[in-house]
Amino acid sequence: MAHRRLSVFLAVARFAVVAATLCQLPASAAENLSFDSDGVKIRYVDRGPRDGEPVVLVHGFACNVEFQWGPVVPKLAREYRVIALDCRGHGKSDKPHDADAYGLKMVDDVKRLLDHLQLERAHIVGYSMGAGIAARFAAMYPDRTLSLVMGGAGVMPDAAFTRCLPDLVASLEKKGSMAPLIMALNPPGAPPPTDFQLKSVDMVMMGMNDPQALAAMVRGFEPMLAADAQRPASYWKGIEAPALGIVGGADPLRQSVESTGELLPDMRVVVVPGRDHVTTVMAPEFIKSIDEFLEAASAATP
């Protein structure tokens, strides 16, 4: 079943079970470390050798460290110093209900995390929402970016995807539901989830999230995305760090990643056959591609 195109419902359900059982971080990795990011408490995990090159992991929307990176942290931490944060509005970090608390402030959280740990530069790895944060970090702070990995999204989401955002805000605020986002991420050609399936996914995802904070976050993204859409291509070409894109062949956001690969001439794009937006992170090719990329990027670092 792993090699077949899965519905978003089945994928999320499977991912939730994996995250809750086989892919939890070891107990020694579960410290609730935190720092103050301009008044917002940000929780993070810091694993691996202290002298290893730092790798910062930025998770996707409505996820957290354990849910997104459970199988990734222990593998990368064998060689790298792996730092994974619960983005503001998620996990054990603070969850403001003000839209002004989000947007580019989430990018600055990554910078302040490096400042807090007294790290000059790091490899920045993001998935989905985290990929957008990682790309903006690389554009805004090129001198602090060793390399960039964007999984499941490129620098800008497709217009077809962003059209779901107003409906997502309304759904989160009024119903505590992520249904518009789940529908938007359904693999092309796959049957749409039923109402029962949507409610089941909401039960999993809302059980670990504050819907009002998520709604405020989406509101905070809208002006940031609108401003970025007006930027010339040269702005994104200013990302000079080595870059890797990873996306599932059945991911509706595949075009976003491939378009970014065309924009950044030195970026390599890996398409994982048969995987969608949720299941790509569980594919063996996902961690293998990141590991090989970081090894090559580290070797090329002066």
Task: Please report whether residue 37 resides in a domain.
Answer: yes
Q: How many CB atoms lie within 10 A of CB 116?
A: 16
Of how many residues is the chain composed?
A: 302
Asked if the structure places residue 88 within a domain, the reply is yes
3-state secondary structure 191-225: CCCCHHHHHHHHHHHHCCCCHHHHHHHHHHHHHHH
How far apart CA 138 and CA 12 sit, in angstroms, is 29
Residue 121 lies in a domain: yes
Q: Is 80 helix (H, G, I), strand (E, B) or coil?
A: coil
Domain span at 57: 8-294
Res 14: pLDDT: 46
**Would you state the pLDDT for residue 265?**
79
Beta strands in 135-195 (DSSP E): 145-151
Q: How far apart are the first and last CA of the chain?
A: 44
- Domain membership of residue 300 (yes or no) is no
301 part of a folded domain = no
Take residue 302 and report the two structure tokens written for it: 């002066």
The 10s digit of each residue's pLDDT in 104-148 is: 999 999 999 999 999 999 999 999 999 999 999 999 999 999 999
**Residue 196, in any domain of the structure:** yes
CB 269 within 8 A of CB 258: yes
What domain count does the chain have?
A: 1
Q: Is residue 2 part of a domain?
A: no
Cα 18 off chain centre by: 18
d(CA 179, CA 172): 9
Give me the residues paired with residue 43 across strands.
34
CATH number of the domain enclosing 109 = 3.40.50.1820
Does residue 101 belong to any structural domain of this protein? Answer: yes
| 153 vs 163: CA distance, rounded Å | 16
Dist CA 97 CA 101 (whole Å): 8
Question: Is this model's pTM higher than 0.85 or not?
Answer: yes
Residue-by-residue pLDDT tens, the chain, 302 positions: 333 434 444 455 444 444 443 334 444 444 689 999 999 999 999 999 999 999 999 999 999 999 999 999 999 999 999 999 999 999 999 999 999 999 999 999 999 999 999 999 999 999 999 999 999 999 999 999 999 999 999 999 888 889 999 999 999 999 999 999 999 999 999 999 999 999 999 999 999 999 999 999 999 999 999 999 999 999 998 899 999 999 999 999 999 999 999 999 789 999 999 999 999 999 999 999 999 999 999 887 76
Q: Give residue 301's pLDDT.
A: 72
Contact 43/34 with Cβ under 8 angstroms?
A: yes
